[in-house]
């Protein structure tokens, strides 16, 4: 390189920019090159440069740091011998600057210009400023010959970029030459105004500006750091000279000397720019200005703390409000970052914060002996002024207390993750995560989504995956500019931590949590330990009693400590006695627990939790099934802890806990009646997989039996049958007779659901023999109940009634209220099928009351269905429809497809009786499709018979007969005498009067008499008598002959 990059007035003898040095640091890379940057000599033994050039990413100084002075003019530039140095000060990760202390011999400055005292300046206007940057390119500096040249670039500095991004942007006039590393080596160069004032130091940036832009740390940020000022004072022997540089006015100098106090602020405003867009927090944006104006309380509220969890948008809201209200507070507008929760940066103590404010006010407080004296100077200066103070990122109330004004003339906005409780002075505004609509609006605005795409439902799901946290939503919005919402959502759902797919968002959220954690660990190790234990809880909510069991504390002590964590926004309140982590922070909290707690501690804590849930769950089970305990309390506990119960049981299974099988069986018993088939399938599938891996045959048998139970209840009968059979074989091989009997009972119940009644009866009898030999009265009661249902399906009502009564007596002896309700409902079914409406009505109501009390949703749906059929037969169609709808909704809630299909059939019958044939046909067709899908021939037969009745009433006898014929075939296949009798009676109604109709009625009558269905048998005799009196078509009443 033989000529400067950009022209200047220098000739070959003119010295270069005074104070320029070249900085190198080890270690060498693969090509033998060291890290290289530029620097500015501030004093004979002190150099200002960039942080990243002399330290590693974790803040450790690099080895072998040396500095060389740049001497000579254009065409004769050379570097002096290197001088070793050490890092005397370095900024945090966001302040890319460092001070180097040279060894005692210093630099060889012969031939170099004298180094003037640095003139620190801050651009206070809004207009761009012309600047020059002189430094060393990496390519030139790595040369060891005398051909080295400097690089001088000229550009324009935008002062407003600092308020937006904590950096200045310098847009340069000429791009970097092709093939060169982009501004490599220029880091640490001084950014200088034409007056010679130093405005900033070039910093590293990861943004691709294509060689057209440099970024720089403003000197104001350096002088605000007490560590920087301390080293500067030590090495130069004097305080900083502050200059307010406004391109529209001459440069004004203010030396900060002891005792000086200015009439006006040396710096009028340090407010950063407001957010480019703020589409959320509408309520707070309107409420806080009203409080400031005194419109809500009758007097102005002038000190506000905006608090909330990390990333919730506290600073953005405060900055927005500061700019909205700035015109009312024109005398001074200061924004100070207190670094309360900043990665890699210690919080600013009250002394340092006070010194920064005094500096901006133009006051030197060095002669003030202590913090109280400095605070008095500050309050005196602020007294009577209309000032605005934004204290961002406060760590505690103690950090900000001395910074508050002494009168009511100034506005103070504080942001913090900690609730700053001082009701006499501070008005609290607590921010939660965004409502869904505001989060979507923020995502749309940040990503620039087109109007026609703004209604895509995937957008809300993306926000949900971000936890409705503004910090995460805005980070994810960057990806949305280049990807379709569904693609992005799919990527986020593929991992337990949705933001792992969005590295920037994951980094920002992780850093936000990490700082809060580090502060807690330093201030209160006991609370930090509690937080790690809470993170071990596998469920989404933290109930105080469960957490007390995990920690060994009393519930009272645990509640107090968790409430303290909530005030620090490390956990969230979720109701009385309940807390939880924000979804995004949970992963980070668990990673800390994994890293810092030994496996033995995890085992100890989780064993306590498993024991707690076993104790509470088994107590709830007794209260809900037996006559002891309060079922209302048990039901409330189960409703609140359902999700936690599932998560805890899965964790026990995954960890191979000795309590896993017992926990799984208890959870199955509690949640099976609520229709939690998906959750239960997760438990049993996990147990099956771990058992197969561990060759644990008892656990595998339990898992297959439990899995078959959930499959049977959800309608997957073929898979359920197969799993029951494998479980029964495993139990037999293990010699576990009770397990084998349970599997046989499940197999029998599956065959009954498939309308294989004779096979079901044989299996029930086999199970009964085993239960009798084991003296298992609960199993015996369940078997009698199953046999009774088979008898009813086959139309053998007397036998069914006797077996239901035997089951009821056994359940009563066991104190099993649910079993008793099941038997009572079965007896009500028999009464209804025999035409005894009142008896059926009373039975269904009695069963329903018990089911409601113990929280059995499936039993409630079946009882409501029975009441609906009674009301339909009695002609109370409106009431019947309401009952069927309630039953249908309950069946949907628990995922009971067969139950839902039965309710649709009932609704179809009601619509037919109302004359709404199209609606009836649609409901019955949907019901038939479900029964076909479930391979439920019995349910299909009843639905087809109802469809035939509908077609007949609608004047379509051919379609009616086709439906009846198909229904008759289904009932023949399953052996349902009642279904066959009803279908024959309905079929006779569409046949021409004559022998065929008489034969159908006669066969139906014989079946009714055999069933003991007296009412329907009497109606059938009437039809036969009418055929004898006249050969005419039967009335529509034939279709009402029972079900």
Asked whether the predicted pLDDT for residue 493 surpasses 80, the reply is no
Q: Please measure the distance between the N-terminal and C-terminal CA atoms of the chain and give it in whole angstroms.
A: 101
Token pair recorded at residue 352: 């340092």
User: DSSP string covering 956-994, please?
Assistant: -HHHHHHHHHHHHHHHHHHT-HHHHHHHHHHHHHHSPTT
What's the mean per-residue pLDDT of the chain?
Answer: 81
Amino acid 239: pLDDT: 72
Quote the CA–CA distance of 825 and 864 in Å, as a whole number. Answer: 10
Angle at 974 between CA 969 and CA 977, to 5 degrees: 85
Write down the architecture of domain 20-236 according to CATH. Beta Barrel (2.40)
Cβ-based neighbour number of residue 1031 at 10 Å: 12
**Taking the mean position of all CA atoms in its chain, how far away is CA 779?**
43
**Three-state DSSP state, 773:** helix
Provide CB contacts within 8 A for 994, sequence distance 6+.
1031
- Residues 66 and 83: beta-carbon distance below 8 Å: yes
Give the CATH superfamily of 273-431.
Answer: P-loop containing nucleotide triphosphate hydrolases (3.40.50.300)
Quote the CA–CA distance of 249 and 121 in Å, as a whole number. Answer: 14
- Residues 877 and 868: beta-carbon distance below 8 Å: no
Quote the CA–CA distance of 695 and 826 in Å, as a whole number. Answer: 42
Nearest to 672, CA basis, from 661, 681, 662, 663: 681
Higher pLDDT residue, 149 or 928?
928
Residue 894, φ and ψ in degrees, nearest 5? -100, 5
Amino acid 884: pLDDT: 93
Token pair recorded at residue 404: 């508050």
Asked whether the predicted pLDDT for residue 505 surpasses 50, the reply is no
Max CA separation in the chain (angstroms): 137
Could you identify the residue written with the tokens 């000197």? 219
- Residues 292 and 411: beta-carbon distance below 8 Å: yes
pLDDT band (50, 70, 90) for residue 361: confident
Asked whether the predicted pLDDT for residue 179 surpasses 50, the reply is no
Provide CB contacts within 8 A for 598, sequence distance 6+.
none
pLDDT digits (tens, 9 = 90+) for 306-317: 998 777 788 889
Give the domain ranges of the chain. Answer: 20-236, 273-431, 436-501
Provide CB contacts within 8 A for 113, sequence distance 6+.
15, 16, 18, 19
Asked whether the predicted pLDDT for residue 600 surpasses 70, the reply is yes
Q: Kindly list the distances between the CA atom of residue 1003 and the CA atoms of 410, 575, 593, 1006, in Å, as whole numbers in the listed order.
A: 97, 64, 74, 5
- Residues 314 and 434: beta-carbon distance below 8 Å: no
Cβ-based neighbour number of residue 9 at 10 Å: 5
- Residues 163 and 271: beta-carbon distance below 8 Å: yes
Quote the CA–CA distance of 949 and 956 in Å, as a whole number. Answer: 10
Query: Average of pLDDT values for 481-491?
Result: 75
Q: Is 204 exposed, middle or buried (0-12, 13-18, 19+ CB in 10 A)?
A: middle
Secondary structure element (H or E) that encloses residue 130, with its range: strand 129-135
Q: Percent of the chain, pLDDT > 70? A: 83
pLDDT digits (tens, 9 = 90+) for 31-76: 778 888 889 988 888 999 999 889 887 788 999 999 988 776 655 6
Query: Average of pLDDT values for 82-96?
Result: 85
Asked whether the predicted pLDDT for residue 476 surpasses 50, the reply is yes
Amino acid 904: pLDDT: 92
pLDDT digits (tens, 9 = 90+) for 788-808: 999 988 888 899 999 999 999
Quote the CA–CA distance of 539 and 536 in Å, as a whole number. Answer: 9
Q: What is the pTM of this model?
A: 0.55
Quote the CA–CA distance of 577 and 569 in Å, as a whole number. Answer: 16
pLDDT digits (tens, 9 = 90+) for 975-1019: 777 788 889 988 888 888 888 888 888 888 888 887 777 777 888
pLDDT digits (tens, 9 = 90+) for 403-433: 999 888 899 999 998 888 888 889 989 888 8
155 forms beta bridges with 131, 172
pLDDT digits (tens, 9 = 90+) for 509-565: 665 566 567 667 877 889 888 988 998 999 888 899 999 999 999 999 999 999 888
Token pair recorded at residue 302: 């002038």
DSSP label at residue 128: -
964-992 burial: b if 16+ Cβ within 10 Å, else e: bebbbebbeebbbbbbbbbbbbbbbbbbe
Token pair recorded at residue 33: 């090159």
pLDDT band (50, 70, 90) for residue 92: confident
pLDDT digits (tens, 9 = 90+) for 867-903: 999 999 999 999 999 999 999 999 888 778 888 899 9
- Residues 402 and 394: beta-carbon distance below 8 Å: no
Amino acid 465: pLDDT: 77
Amino acid 209: pLDDT: 41
**Secondary-structure percent of the chain, ordered helix, strand, coil, rounded to 5:** 55, 15, 30
Quote the CA–CA distance of 345 and 225 in Å, as a whole number. Answer: 11
Amino acid 573: pLDDT: 80
**Three-state DSSP state, 1007:** helix
Asked whether the predicted pLDDT for residue 211 surpasses 60, the reply is no
């Amino acid at each position: 390189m033989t000529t400067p990059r950009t022209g200047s007035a220098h000739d070959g003898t003119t010295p270069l920019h005074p104070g320029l040095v070249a900085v190198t640091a080890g270690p060498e890379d693969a090509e033998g090159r060291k890290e290289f940057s530029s620097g500015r000599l501030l004093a004979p033994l002190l150099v200002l440069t960039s942080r990243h050039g002399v330290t590693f990413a974790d803040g450790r100084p690099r080895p072998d740091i040396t500095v060389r002075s740049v001497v000579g003019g254009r065409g004769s530039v050379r570097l002096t011998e290197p001088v070793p140095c050490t890092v005397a000060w370095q900024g945090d990760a966001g302040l890319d600057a460092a001070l180097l202390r040279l060894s005692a011999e210093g630099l060889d400055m012969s031939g170099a210009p004298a180094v003037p005292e640095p003139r620190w300046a801050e651009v206070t206007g809004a207009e761009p400023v012309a600047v020059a940057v002189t430094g060393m390119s990496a390519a030139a500096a790595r040369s060891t010959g005398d051909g080295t040249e400097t690089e001088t670039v000229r550009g324009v500095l935008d002062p407003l970029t600092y308020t937006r991004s904590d950096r200045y942007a310098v847009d340069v006039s000429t791009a970097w030459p092709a093939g060169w590393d982009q501004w490599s080596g220029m880091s640490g160069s001084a950014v200088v105004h034409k007056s010679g004032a130093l405005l900033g130091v070039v910093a590293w940036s990861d943004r691709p500006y294509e060689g057209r832009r440099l970024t720089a740390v403003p000197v104001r940020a350096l002088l605000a750091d007490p560590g920087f000022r301390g080293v500067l004072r030590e090495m130069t022997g004097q305080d900083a000279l502050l200059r307010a540089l406004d391109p529209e006015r001459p440069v004004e100098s203010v030396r900060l000397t002891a005792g000086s106090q200015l009439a006006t602020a040396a710096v009028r405003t340090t407010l950063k720019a407001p957010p480019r867009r703020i589409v959320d927090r509408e309520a707070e944006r309107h409420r806080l200005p009203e409080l400031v104006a005194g419109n809500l309380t009758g007097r102005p509220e002038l000190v506000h703390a905006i608090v909330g969890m990390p990333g919730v948008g506290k600073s953005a809201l405060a900055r927005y409000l500061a700019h909205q209200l700035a015109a009312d507070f024109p005398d001074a507008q200061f924004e100070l970052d207190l670094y309360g929760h900043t990665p890699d940066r210690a919080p600013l103590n009250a002394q340092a914060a006070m010194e920064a404010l005094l500096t901006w006010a133009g006051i030197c407080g060095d002669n003030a002996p202590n913090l109280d004296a400095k605070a008095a100077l500050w309050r005196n200066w602020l007294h009577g002024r209309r000032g605005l103070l934004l204290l961002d990122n406060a760590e505690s109330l103690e950090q900000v207390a001395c910074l508050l004004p002494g009168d009511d003339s100034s506005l103070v906005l504080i942001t913090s993750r900690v609730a700053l409780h001082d009701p006499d002075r501070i008005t609290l505004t607590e921010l939660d995560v965004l409502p869904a609509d505001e989060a979507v609006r923020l995502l749309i605005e940040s990503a620039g989504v087109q109007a026609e795409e703004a209604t895509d439902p995937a957008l809300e799901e993306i926000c949900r995956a971000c936890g409705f946290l503004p910090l995460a939503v805005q980070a994810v919005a960057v990806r949305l500019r280049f990807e379709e919402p569904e693609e992005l959502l799919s990527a986020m759902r593929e991992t337990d931590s949705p933001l792992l797919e969005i590295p920037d968002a994951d980094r920002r959220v992780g850093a936000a949590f990490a700082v809060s954690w580090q502060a807690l660990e330093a201030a209160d190790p006991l609370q930090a330990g509690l937080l790690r234990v809470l993170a071990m809880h596998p469920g989404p909510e933290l109930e105080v009693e469960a957490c007390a069991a995990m920690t060994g504390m009393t519930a009272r002590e645990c509640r107090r400590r968790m409430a303290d964590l909530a005030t620090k926004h490390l956990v969230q309140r979720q109701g009385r006695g309940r807390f939880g982590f924000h979804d995004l922070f949970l992963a980070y909290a668990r990673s800390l627990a994994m890293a810092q707690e030994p496996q033995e501690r995890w085992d100890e804590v989780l064993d306590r939790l498993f024991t707690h849930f076993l104790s509470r769950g088994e107590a709830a089970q007794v209260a809900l099934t037996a006559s002891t305990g309060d079922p209302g309390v048990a039901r409330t506990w189960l409703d609140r802890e359902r999700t936690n119960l599932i998560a805890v049981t899965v964790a026990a299974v995954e960890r191979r806990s000795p309590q896993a099988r017992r926990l799984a069986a208890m959870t199955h018993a509690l949640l099976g009646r609520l229709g939690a088939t998906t959750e239960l399938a997760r438990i049993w599938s996990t147990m099956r997989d771990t058992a197969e891996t561990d060759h644990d045959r008892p656990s595998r048998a339990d898992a297959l039996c439990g899995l078959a139970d959930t499959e049977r209840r959800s309608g997957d009968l073929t898979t359920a049958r197969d799993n029951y059979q494998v479980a029964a074989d495993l139990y037999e091989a293990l010699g576990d007779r009770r397990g084998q009997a349970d599997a046989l009972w499940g197999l029998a119940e599956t065959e009954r659901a498939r309308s294989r009644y004779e096979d079901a009866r044989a299996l029930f009898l086999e199970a009964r023999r085993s239960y009798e030999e084991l003296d298992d009265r609960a199993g015996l009661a369940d078997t009698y109940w199953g046999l009774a249902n088979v008898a009813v399906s086959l139309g053998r009502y007397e036998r069914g009634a006797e077996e239901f009564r035997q089951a009821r007596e056994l359940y009563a002896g066991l104190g099993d209220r649910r079993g008793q309700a099941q038997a009572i409902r079965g007896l009500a079914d028999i009464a209804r099928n025999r035409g005894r409406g009142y008896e059926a009505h009373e039975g269904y109501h009695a069963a329903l009351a018990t089911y409601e009390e113990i929280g059995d949703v499936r039993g409630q749906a079946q009882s409501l269905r029975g009441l609906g059929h009674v009301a339909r037969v009695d002609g109370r169609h409106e009431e019947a429809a309401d009952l069927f709808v309630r039953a249908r909704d309950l069946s949907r809630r628990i995922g009971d497809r067969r139950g839902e299909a039965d309710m649709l059939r009932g609704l179809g019958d009601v619509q037919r009786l109302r004359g709404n044939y199209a609606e009836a046909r649609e409901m019955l067709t949907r019901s038939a499709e479900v029964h076909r899908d479930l391979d439920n021939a019995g349910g299909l037969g009843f639905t087809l018979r109802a469809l035939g009745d509908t077609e007949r009433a609608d004047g379509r006898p051919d379609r009616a007969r086709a439906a009846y014929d198909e229904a008759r075939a289904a009932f023949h296949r399953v052996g349902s005498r009642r279904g066959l009798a009803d279908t024959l009676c309905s079929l006779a109604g569409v046949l021409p009067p004559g022998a065929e109709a008489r034969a159908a009625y006669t066969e139906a009558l014989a079946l009714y008499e055999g069933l003991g269905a007296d009412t329907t048998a009497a109606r059938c005799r009437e039809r036969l008598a009418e055929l004898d009196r006249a050969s005419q078509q039967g009335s529509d009443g034939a279709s009402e002959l029972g079900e």
